[in-house]
Homo-oligomer: A and B are copies of this chain.
Amino acid sequence: MKARVYVMPKNGVLDPQGKAIGHALEGLGFAGVNDVRAGKVIELDLAETNPDAARKTAEEMARKLLANTVIESFRVELA
């Protein structure tokens, strides 16, 4: 079963990577970019076939390793 974990910087947390992308887009001539935030997506291929168990495992992985929950929020999607 595939699970996707999306990790984004929390609102209010400075996101220098997003800011850099925003400036680069401006430099390339893209106008009308109000804000950019950069995050990660981790695609997990799990042996677990039960959706509830897979979600729980992915959330535990996110809390323990994939996301720094002090400054990042995460969201799990099953696919």
Write the residues of chain A forming the contact surface with B, with a CB cutoff of 8 angstroms: 6, 8, 18, 21, 24-25, 28, 30-48, 57, 60-61, 64-66
Contacts and interface: CB of A to CB of B under 8 A. Distances in A.
Copies of this chain present in the complex amount to 2
Given A38-B40, A41-B6, A41-B8, A46 B65 contact: no
Among A6, A40, A42, A48, the most chain B Cβ lie within 10 Å of the Cβ of A42
Given A25-B61, A25-B65, A45 B39 contact: no
Among A33, A44, A57, the most chain B Cβ lie within 10 Å of the Cβ of A44
A45 B22 CA distance: 10
A64 B26 CA distance: 12
